[in-house]
Amino acid sequence: MDEILIVDYGSQYTRLLARRVREIGIYSRVESPQKAHMTSDTKGIILSGGPQSVYSENALKLPNWLVSSEIPVLGVCYGMQLLVQTFGGVVKRGETFEYGSTKVIFSEDPIFSNLPKFSDVWMSHGDLVEKLPSGFLRIAKSELGVIAATCSKDKKIYGFQFHPEVSQTEGGMEMIRHFVFNVCNAKESWKMEDYAELKVKELREELGNSKVIGAISGGVDSAVATAVAVRAIGENLKCVFVNHGLLRKEDELVPQILSQIGIDVKVVDASELFLERLKSVRDPEQKRKIIGKTFIEVFEREAKSVNAEYLLQGTIYSDVIESAAASSASVKIKSHHNVGGLPERMNLKLVEPLRELFKDEVRELGEIVDLPPEILNRHPFPGPGLAIRIIGEIDQERVNVLKKVDDVYTTILKENGEYHNIWQAFSVLLPVRSVGVKGDERAYGYVVALRAVDSSEGMTASWHKMPFDLLRRISSTITDKVPEVGRVVYDISDKPPATIEWE
C-alpha cells in the first residue's frame, strides 16, 4: 500500500505527523535521518521539526539520497530550514521568536486551496529563514514578516515554518491532505483494522509459545494492549494488577470489569512497599524512577511463578516522546515510569504493541478489539497514579485526601454530563496550606488545584472552559466533604507551555 516516509529530527510532534497521515487513510513510516530509506511504495517524504539549529556543528542533515530524489518533500519547521540551507538559502537566529498561535498570510498556492487568506497557525521556532534558495518562492508570511512557507517552482518541494499537524493550526489537516493526495498522488489504502491485524501477527511471531506477564494499570492503554495480546497468545498471557496504594477509587474496579469480558487478572497489593520507598521523596523525576523500578521488581517476582520471559506494557507514543526515548535528537520533558523510569537492568523483555499510537488511536483500536465503554471512555490516568498529583512529599494522609477530592470532582462531572466533554480532568494536592474560615473558626487546610483540558492526542492541550456554576458546585462540595481542604483553585494553563500533569 502507498506510504509516506517521515524523517524524524527529534520534534515532540513527529509521531503526530505520522498519525495525521494515517488519519487520512495513508500508511506512514517514521525513520531517523541515518536509517531513512524509500521503498517502491513511498509516495512522498515529510521532514519533521526538531530542537536543533541547522547551522550548529552537529546538526542533523538530509539523507544523502534525498537531495537528488524526484519524490515530493514537505519540510516542517526544522525540516523547512534544513531544505532551505541544503539548497543554498540562509537560516539565522531570529531577533524575535514565534511560539504558539500566530497569524499568517497565505498566497494563492494550491496547497492552501479553500483556506482563508489570513489564518492562525501553531509556531514554535527561534531560527528563521532570511533568504530563500534560487528557484524557491515565498507562499506565506507571518504577521511579523517572517517567511512562514515556501515551495520550489516545480511544486515538488514544500516547507512550512509552522506545524500543520497540531490541532491549533487552522486548516492544518487540509494542507496535509493537499500534500499527500495532490502533490504525492498517494491513494487511500490504510485503516486501524490493518494495524490491529499487523500487531496480532507480529506478537505471535515475536512471542511464539513464551509466557508473558501483562501489566494492567487501570488505564485505557494497558487494557487495550492486553486485549490485543490475548488475541495473539491467549492463555500464555498472565495479567497482573499491582495496587501501589496510589489509585483512585474507580481504579479498583478495573479487574472486575476485565473479568466480565474474559480477561482474568491477578491483584497484587504492594501499597506498603511503594509508600515506604516514596517516603520523604519530593523530586518528581525521582518519584517516577522509584515507581518504575518497584513495578519491575513486583512484576519480575510474579513472572518467576509462571516462568514468564516477557512483560507487556501499555506504553503509548506520548510516554515515549516526553521521555526522549523516541529519537536520539529528542529532548526529555519528563521520565515516564514505564519508559525513562525503568531500571537499566531487567530480567524481563518488554513488549509494547501500542508504542507508536496516540491516545485517541488507542481508543479506536480498543473498539476494534471489543473493550467495553467503561474502560475506553475513562480519562487518561498516569501509571504513577496520585504520586505525581501530590506535589512534594507523599504519605497516607495526603493520598487519602486527594483520593476523596478526586472522587468528588469526577462524580460531579459525570452527574452533570460534563465528564465526556473533557479529554482529561483531575485534581492536584499542593504542598501549601491556606488560612480559611469554617464554622466561624479559623481553618488552616490544604489547597487543591483542579485541572481539565481539551485535546485529541495529548501532545497539545487547551484548558477546558468549565461552566462557572459547575466550578462553584465542585469547589463548595470539595470543601464541605473533605474537611482537610480549605481552598480550591482552577488551572488555566495550556500545553505548551505547561504539561497536562503537574509533575
pLDDT digits (tens, 9 = 90+) for 180-198: 999 999 999 888 898 899 8
Give the mean model confidence (pLDDT) for residues 199-225.
90
Catalytic residue flag (residue 374): no
Q: Which of 77, 151, 184, 239 is catalytic?
A: 77
Is the domain of 178 the same as that of 202?
A: no
Amino acid at site 227: A
Are 368 and 464 part of one and the same domain? no
- 239 and 173 in one domain? no
Same domain, 68 and 143: yes
pLDDT score at 332: 41
Q: Is the pLDDT of residue 96 over 80?
A: no
Is residue 343 pLDDT above 70, yes or no? no
pLDDT classification of 372: cutoffs 50, 70, 90: confident
User: Would 389 be classed as within a structural domain?
Assistant: no
pLDDT of residue 334: 38
Last-in-domain residue among 134, 159, 183: 183
In a domain, 503, yes or no: no
- Tell me, what DSSP letter sits at residue 379? P
The verdict on whether 77 is a catalytic residue reads yes
Q: Determine which helix (DSSP H) or strand (DSSP E) holds 197, and give its type and residue range.
A: helix 192-207
pLDDT tens, 415-441?
Answer: 999 999 999 999 999 999 988 777 666
Measured CA to CA, the distance from residue 326 to residue 324 in angstroms comes to: 6
User: Is the pLDDT score of 161 beyond 90?
Assistant: yes
Domain assignment of residue 99, given as a range = 3-183
| Whether residues 148 and 235 fall in one domain | no
The grid coordinates listed for 195 are 494495524
Q: What nine digits make up the cell of 358? A: 496516540
* Residues 215 and 342 reside in one and the same domain: yes
Active site residue 165: yes
Q: Report the domain count for the chain.
A: 3
Catalytic residue among 3, 23, 98, 165: 165
- Shared domain for 123 and 38, answered yes or no, is yes
For range 163-174, the mean pLDDT:
93
Q: For the CA atoms of the chain, what is the radius of gyration? A: 24
Q: What is the pLDDT of residue 345?
A: 67
Looking at residue 223, which CATH number applies to its domain? Answer: 3.40.50.620
Residue at 386 is within a domain: no
Inter-residue contact 50 to 9 (CB < 8 Å): yes
Q: Is the peptide bond before 255 cis (omega within 30 degrees of 0)?
A: no
Average pLDDT over residues 445-449: 96
Residue 172 confidence (pLDDT) above 90: yes
- For the chain, give the mean pLDDT: 89
State residue 344's pLDDT score.
65
Residues 6+ away with beta carbon under 8 Å from 347 = 300, 303
Tell me the CA end-to-end span of the chain in Å, nearest whole number: 41
Residue 14 lies in a domain: yes
Q: In this structure, are 263 and 215 located in the same domain?
A: yes
**Does residue 11 contact residue 60 with C-beta atoms inside 8 Å?**
no
Picking from 376, 406, 427, the residue at the C-terminal end of a domain is 376
For the stretch 133-158, pLDDT in tens is: 999 999 999 988 999 999 999 999 99
CATH number at residue 105: 3.40.50.880
pLDDT of residue 360: 81
Residue 475: per-residue pLDDT = 97
- Residue 261's pLDDT is 76
Confidence at residue 458, expressed as pLDDT on a 0 to 100 scale = 81
Task: At 18, give phi and psi (nearest 5°).
Answer: -60, -40
Residue 168 lies in a domain: yes
On whether both 223 and 88 belong to a single domain, the answer is no
Q: Band the pLDDT of 94: cuts 50, 70, 90.
A: confident
Q: 175 and 66, same structural domain?
A: yes
Name the strand (E) or helix (H) holding 103. Answer: strand 90-106
Q: Give residue-wise pLDDT tens across range 106-126.
A: 999 999 999 999 999 998 888
pTM: 0.68
**Cα 222 to the center of its chain, rounded Å:** 15
Evaluate if residue 104 carries a pLDDT over 90: yes
The answer on pLDDT for 330 being more than 60 is no
Residue 260 pLDDT: 79
- pLDDT tens by residue, 14-35: 988 998 999 999 999 899 999 9
CA distances from 80 to 46, 48, 203 (A): 10, 9, 37
Whether the predicted pLDDT of 394 surpasses 90: yes
390 assigned to some structural domain: no
Q: Which of 163, 244, 337, 464 is catalytic?
A: 163
Confidence of residue 322 (pLDDT cuts 50, 70, 90): low
Residue closest to 89 by CA, chosen among 133, 44, 34: 133
Distances (CA, A) of 160 to 7, 46, 99, 228, 270: 15, 11, 14, 37, 50
**Residue 115 near residue 66, CB atoms below 8 Å:** no
Statement: residue 335 has pLDDT above 80: no
pLDDT of 460 reads 82
pLDDT in tens, 253-304: 788 888 877 888 899 999 999 999 999 999 999 999 999 899 989 999 999 9
Share of the chain above pLDDT 70, in %: 94
Task: Write b or e for each residue in 152-172: b if 16 or more Cβ atoms lie within 10 A of its Cβ, otherwise e.
Answer: beeeebbbbbbbbbbbbbbbb
Domain C-terminal end among 183, 212, 234: 183
d(CA 15, CA 474): 36
Reading phi first (left if > 0) and then psi (alpha if -120 to 50, else beta), residue 209 is in alpha
Q: pLDDT at residue 379 above 70?
A: yes
- Are residues 123 and 45 part of one domain? yes
Clarify whether residues 26 and 164 are in a common domain.
yes
Cell of 60: 542533523
Task: Give the residue from 21, 419, 311 showing the smallest Cα distance to 183.
Answer: 21
Q: What is the pLDDT of residue 342?
A: 54
For the cut 90, the answer to whether the pLDDT of residue 361 exceeds it is no
